[in-house]
Amino acid sequence: MPNAQPQPIDILAFTSSGKGGDLEEAKKFSLDIISSGEETVVYVYPSVPDILSASIFISKIVASNTPLAVRLEPTIDADRVRNANLISIGIPLSKKQYDEVAGKFKKALILGLCVKGLGKSEGNVLIICSTRYSGTAIYTWKILKDKLDAIDYLLLLSSLIASNMFKLPKDPIEKSIFNEAINKEVIEESKGVRIFGITNKPLYKALAESLIPYLFGLTGNENNCREFVRKHGIEDLSTKLTDHEASTIKKVIEDILKFANKVSSDTWKVDDLIGEVYFLKSTIGGFSVDLLEFSAQLTAVIEKTGYSASAYVRNFFDVISKIHSKTYYEALKTVSSAFENILKEPLRELEVGGRKVKVVKTNMENYVYLLESVILTSGYADESDVIIFEGGEGFLITYSTIKRVFLTDSSKAIEVFSKLSDKQVSYGFIFSSLRNIVSSMRKL
């Protein structure tokens, strides 16, 4: 089913002066913490977009020789660390939690979803918040703009793309980051087809390696992709899409859309598939030069490496790119196989408190965010749906689902889910029974 059009992102900075939008004061406050030389704790919300943004902050703190501790958790334990500076990235705080932070940290920079009721920060706390999930990349850019290098920009762009489920963002503020990356010659823009690597791979291979859009029957299946290409009169399998006549390209794209919409009709439109495409200006060993595919590859690296270690992805980017450059292809096979199995099972669907809940069966433990992205962009679930993964350990609700669905009420949702869950893992809460998730949701 098609998703509703997202509301424009509104970036607000609540400073000690009470001025909403005073980003210059926010920038100075933030840079003072980074270069303070005082003990600093960085709390990062455990989701791929927030980890990518946080890794840039972390790298700048490390470069400043400021003592640093990093915690990947959905909430801040203010009693655990006192008299230190805090940078909180992506963690939704309630008014009560905010007051605790203000009372126990020297200085605190809160970057996250806007919290209802806050219009002014305490003197030692500064809040920069957004009305949408992708905000962490945007205010990282706003604060650190003068200190960003090419790799930083690629991580920021990947954070934006990941928060949009590996489709190009359309919000003007998000687009402005792309434009600045173009001006700085980090990426370049052209018109083309938004399928991972389709401009620099043989057509059949690009189709087989397309995760977003998920091409039902083609993704992960090279034999079917070869047959698809031959049916369009293409005998030379080494050719790229752009090697062919306009009439052939048009027919191929029309038929690709049919595969993209097999799970749910009209989820993908022509405008989703054709338009601006972006490429890295400089190649990075092992990674694609196609920015969309690069973002998916980087996400696969994060999910394979583990969320906690990946908070340092910027610091160790060169090493990670050499070691894990092929991880995406493992992820592709794993995710496509898992999704095909999900589609074979009857869908369990219920409604709790006006929210739709979709329960999908899978025993997959790695690449959960990529699988969730496929489920949402294929039309199998709507952006407002609560996705529950049912597997061997029980029923999992991911932190990314919580923030995507509950937005500014995420702090309350996390508090409620944590009380009834049986286990907390790096990417979400696990419940022994679906009933306990339903009971939790009824309290929201």
Q: Measure the CA dihedral 204/205/206/208, to 10°.
A: 90
* Spatial contact of 402 and 388, defined as CB atoms under 8 Å apart: no
| pLDDT at 19 (0 to 100) | 44
Q: For residue 213, is the peptide bond before it cis, meaning its omega torsion is within 30 degrees of 0?
A: yes
Tally of CB atoms within 10 A around 388: 23
| pLDDT at 124 (0 to 100) | 87
Q: How far apart are CA 336 and CA 18, in angstroms?
A: 49
| pLDDT at 22 (0 to 100) | 62
State the 10-residue block means of pLDDT for the chain, 444 residues long. 46 46 77 94 96 97 96 91 90 86 90 68 76 76 94 97 93 93 98 94 97 96 97 96 95 97 94 96 90 96 94 91 80 95 93 96 93 97 97 96 92 95 96 96 94
Segment (H or E) for 357: strand 355-361
* Token digits of residue 56: 């840039």
| pLDDT at 8 (0 to 100) | 47
Residues 6+ apart with CB under 8 A from 114: 10, 12, 129, 130, 131, 408
What residue spans in the chain does CATH classification 3.90.1640.30 cover? 11-147
Question: Which class is domain 11-147?
Answer: alpha beta
| pLDDT at 381 (0 to 100) | 97
| pLDDT at 420 (0 to 100) | 94
What residue spans in the chain does CATH classification 3.10.310 cover? 344-441
Backbone angles phi, psi at 108, to 5 degrees: -140, 130
Q: Measure the CA dihedral 217/219/222/225, to 10°.
A: 60
Backbone angles phi, psi at 100, to 5 degrees: -65, -45
Which of 283, 292, 323 is CA-nearest to residue 150? 283
* Spatial contact of 179 and 186, defined as CB atoms under 8 Å apart: no
Digit-coded pLDDT (tens) for 306-330:
999 999 999 999 887 777 768 899 9
| pLDDT at 73 (0 to 100) | 96
Please check whether the domain covering 344-441 is classified as CATH 3.30.1490.
no
Amino acid (1-letter code) at residue 268: W
Query: Is the whole-model pTM more than 0.75?
Result: yes
| pLDDT at 99 (0 to 100) | 84
Backbone angles phi, psi at 381, to 5 degrees: -140, 155
113 three-state secondary structure: strand
Q: How far apart are CA 309 and CA 356, in angstroms?
A: 34
* Spatial contact of 307 and 51, defined as CB atoms under 8 Å apart: yes
Which of 94, 75, 79 is CA-nearest to residue 424? 75
| pLDDT at 125 (0 to 100) | 86
- The answer to whether the Cα torsion of 233, 239, 245, 250 is positive or negative is positive
358: exposed, middle or buried (C-beta count within 10 Å: 0-12, 13-18, 19+)? middle
How do strand 348-352 and strand 355-361 relate by DSSP bridges? antiparallel
Q: How far apart are CA 149 and CA 419, in angstroms?
A: 42
